[in-house]
Chains A and B, each alone.
Chain A
């Protein structure tokens, strides 16, 4: 089994279709919705984690692209300006999935993009405003 974390952008005409159900039923892909913003008649965005055999994930992505869903890797969507970071750790207070972590002995802020669910809470929590999240 393989896992992939993707940001899906739905054009308005696809928003109303049962896309996630299709991924599960037709492609045998476990689809975990981590975050979603979907409004009828507008563009929708969804952060999903797909878990399946690698070939099934590939087929599922092909299907999504065929119905004009934009598929992007999620890890590109959080950016931390490490050069400006003072390692205060204030952002870790709001990071429930522990993508942002600070701990002894180094006390250096670590960002594990694989764990990020792009909730964006850290953007407001950072006193230096050096984290950006695109979702």
Chain B
């Protein structure tokens, strides 16, 4: 049975749409098959809640009297990006405090804003005729500023690599604490709940897709940075390891601190847990098959993070079913496998989005433009001079 997004939206408006979470869909497809499931189900909701370092907030602070073209700006002693006109700033999630180092940073600023806290603003400038002010010190909060929107250049990774540590010392990474001698394996994907694993070739998710972001409605803005669709894929098209990514945008003022959380990875730095959920319309049997994917059909590679190189050799391939069992066989022994992203929260996001759609509060949108289906990544090479 073939449906259009428009038809599905009509059913949502009438309160007739059948909506399942990605986990529920996996069960259904296994029970009745993809053809039958495509007839029964209109929308599948996905979710993920992991540390997403490439995140941040654009914000307009409002003009002071006399006005100022801010050049260097700090919030609670954390340097933020200025040099966007006079009073526009970007808070990068991984920025760290000048005074507290890795214990406080951009991620904490974003969570503190959502919690209604006041932040101490400090800035300086080179005075000009139209912007004479040289320095400022004041306090701001989310209500006092003008626009504040989350704009995350790289979120919702389609699968990710697993980390382990073959060296004889503990490693502190963005994948958590890695114990020596292959003592553990950490992974960071919601598996069968993860948005882009339910639409592996980006048929329904593209530029302009309306999504759940941080507890509010947001949008896919663009392909994410390091979007890399041309990777090894399984026979069902699922990337084995990191594949596509999304750049996401949404109104911070409407978000909730339940779905946006600051994180500090010991001796690595600050990051931000971001809650993302994307609805996938079940347009036909193929989309039913895609959204019916299970953890035993999603694979990734385990890498030894003690090899500090961009081209590490994988140790072995592993399924999410094995990773989620809590033990993984590596180098002839069973090691602890632990998640870094929250599956309970991923599930919660998928179920909140499901409720929104069932209540008619959230309509699906067709992509304005498709995401690239092909493409690899360039490296940053050390050149002695400009290439000819």
Task: Report which A residues bind B (CB closer than 8 A).
Answer: 86-96, 101-104, 106-108, 121, 124-125, 127-129
Contacts and interface: CB of A to CB of B under 8 A. Distances in A.
A121 B177 contact: yes
| Residue of B261, B336, B342 with most partner-chain A CB within 10 A | B342
B347 A107 contact: yes
Contacts of A93: 176-179, 184, 186, 336, 338
Interface string B284-303: 00000000000000000000
Interface residues of B, number: 32
Contacts of B267: 124
Contacts of A103: 326
Contacts, number: 82
Contacts of B341: 88
B324 interface: yes
Contacts of B261: 86, 128
Contacts of B177: 90, 93-94, 121, 124-125
Contacts of A87: 342-345
Interface in B153-194: 172, 176-179, 183-184, 186
Nearest to B340: A90
B338 A102 contact: yes
Interface in B337-374: 338-345, 347
Nearest to B268: A127
A129 B264 contact: yes
B212 interface: no
B265 A127 contact: yes
29 contacts: A86-B344, A87-B342, A88-B49, A88-B339, A88-B340, A88-B342, A88-B345, A89-B343, A91-B338, A92-B326, A92-B338, A93-B186, A93-B336, A94-B176, A96-B336, A102-B338, A103-B326, A104-B324, A104-B343, A106-B344, A108-B344, A121-B177, A124-B177, A124-B266, A125-B266, A127-B176, A127-B271, A127-B340, A128-B261
Interface string B239-260: 0000000000000000000000
